[in-house]
Amino acid sequence: MFDENLNPKKKIKEFVRERKFCETVVESAREVERRVAKWQIQQLHLEERLLRTSSHNWCIVNDGTNQPTIVMGVSGFRL
């Protein structure tokens, strides 16, 4: 926060500086979210390709996340 003893013009400048900093932090967080979403979509496409191009059954364990994720699928299965 800004100092209460600052004159009004300096308070405004300090407020603007802090707001710009916050906007930069928020934009950085959004960029991280976009990159994570893009990575997740790429991973999903790789998993789907693996399951579609093989007649074998696969169990994919993703240990690159905070909570390990298991993706299971049966390829070549027809009703």
Query: Where does the pLDDT of residue 72 fall: very low under 50, low under 70, confident under 90, or very high at 90 and above?
Result: low
Name the nearest CA neighbour of 66 among 36, 27, 45: 36
Within 10 angstroms of residue 6's Cβ, the number of other Cβ atoms is 13
The answer to whether the beta carbons of residues 61 and 70 sit under 8 Å apart is: yes
pLDDT tens digits for range 20-67: 888 888 888 899 888 888 888 888 888 788 777 877 777 777 767 777
Asked whether the whole model's pTM tops 0.95, one would answer: no
